[in-house]
A and B are shown apart, each in its own frame.
Chain A
Amino acid sequence: MLEPRNPQEGTDRPSLGRDAGQPINNAPLADREVPLPGAELGATPVAVHAWLDGEASEADARLADAKQVALWNRISEETSARRRMTTPAHVHANIMSALPAATPSLATSVSATAAPAAAATGMIAMSPVTAALAATGLLAAGFLLARLFG
């Protein structure tokens, strides 16, 4: 959805959804799931996207928009340089020295299947037994509180 044309900038400013009243430059990055001002979808010819995706030749892309091809060639020089970057030498040693002394153990319970995903997402993994014990404990605590105040 687009807001009415901004008379000061002369561009169509896309809506920011729940932060529509907030200036876009102050919006949290996570909230910017919409095109930026001036970034109208479709501004880049299909042939240029196809070339950048390796599905068409540069000559075809140049025929569509030579200026954009020149821009992307410059950007590609920079991204190619970044692709050659390697991890700083001290990082390996830092990681090895920060490893815990304990050897990681094999997981054998149901939690073993949940834990890798939990580790990846930062969530807490809990086995059914642990969950049952926690639930029992909470029920007992609730019962005691009810006895005390009820």
Chain B
Amino acid sequence: MAAPIPASEGLSRGSIRGYRSAVTNTHAAVSTEVDSDQEIIGRVIAGDRNAFGTLINRYSDPLYRHALGMTGSPDVAEDILQTSFIKAYHHLGEVRGRFDAWLFRIVANGCKDWLKNIRRTHLSYDEDDQPSNFNTPDEDLDRTELRQDLDEALAELAPSLREAFVMKHVEGRSYEEMADLLGTTVGALKMRVHRAREALQALLEEKYA
């Protein structure tokens, strides 16, 4: 299984140049060559169905984090991820340009469609899905409370603000990467992120500041 893209590098840098560098840094002694997305797509179209698994390994983690950040539900995030990859498989022969950006748009639109179709105020993360690096029960309790409050605050944001905040602060992308993936300007995205921060701060500061 291919090594996941370091989260801080985001999906955009997971376009093949960044991914190649990430993998060779991690597994330099094992492998120095990674197939490009286009090479893998060619193999899948030629009948090697299992080659599609390489694309899943390559891109599922950042896309899962995006879907989870947008929906707040691990189950929904898994569903969106699965549906998106299957849709991508169906249309694999039609990809022009960057596969990762194309795939991201499918997932992002799946998340937005879900948000449009459901009126909800809160869905919490399953505890088992969350990593815990804290040692004491008090710290764990504190952390769980912040996690829930952050989820609730994120759920209050408009989808476009939530998307911008999740991409910037949860996925760790640069504004340039975000603009590239969302097809908008850096200035517009900065404004969305700033507005999201203002809203989150208003919702959380009384309790935590």
Partners in one complex: yes
Q: Are B93 and A32 interface neighbours, CB within 8 A?
A: no
Query: Which of A2-10, A64-72, A127-135, A139-147 forms part of the interface with chain B?
Result: A64-72
What band does the interface of chain B fall in when counting residues whose beta carbon is under 8 Å from A? 35 or more
**8 Å CB contacts to B: which residues of A17-35?**
25, 28-35
Q: Are A82 and B170 interface neighbours, CB within 8 A?
A: yes
Residues in B whose Cβ lies below 8 Å from that of A77: 143, 146
**Would you give the 0/1 interface string for A84-110, flagging 1 where the beta carbon is closer than 8 Å to chain B?**
111110011011101110011111000
Query: Nearest-CB distance from A62 to chain B (Å)?
Result: 13
Q: Are A106 and B68 interface neighbours, CB within 8 A?
A: no
Residues in A whose Cβ lies below 8 Å from that of B105: 120-121
**Would you give the 0/1 interface string for B46-57, flagging 1 where the beta carbon is closer than 8 Å to chain A?**
110110110011
**Interface assignment of B20: CB less than 8 Å from any CB of chain A:** no
Query: Nearest-CB distance from B138 to chain A (Å)?
Result: 15
Query: Nearest-CB distance from B160 to chain A (Å)?
Result: 7
Residues in B whose Cβ lies below 8 Å from that of A112: 93-94, 96
Q: What is the total of A-B residue contacts with beta carbons within 8 Å?
A: 192
B142's nearest neighbour on chain A, judged by CB, is A74
Q: Are B204 and A71 interface neighbours, CB within 8 A?
A: yes
Q: Are A29 and B158 interface neighbours, CB within 8 A?
A: yes
Q: Are A71 and B205 interface neighbours, CB within 8 A?
A: yes
Known: A32-B157, A88-B74. A98 touches B86 (CB 8 A): yes
Q: Name 28 A/B residue pairs within 8 A (Cβ), A-sorted.
A: A28-B116, A29-B115, A29-B116, A29-B119, A35-B198, A37-B202, A40-B198, A52-B169, A52-B197, A67-B205, A67-B209, A85-B61, A85-B131, A86-B61, A87-B60, A87-B61, A92-B53, A99-B49, A103-B47, A104-B44, A104-B91, A104-B93, A112-B96, A115-B91, A119-B91, A119-B106, A121-B109, A122-B109
Binding site for B on A (CB under 8 A): 25, 28-44, 49, 52-53, 67-68, 70-72, 74-79, 81-88, 91-92, 94-96, 98-100, 103-107, 112-113, 115-116, 119-122
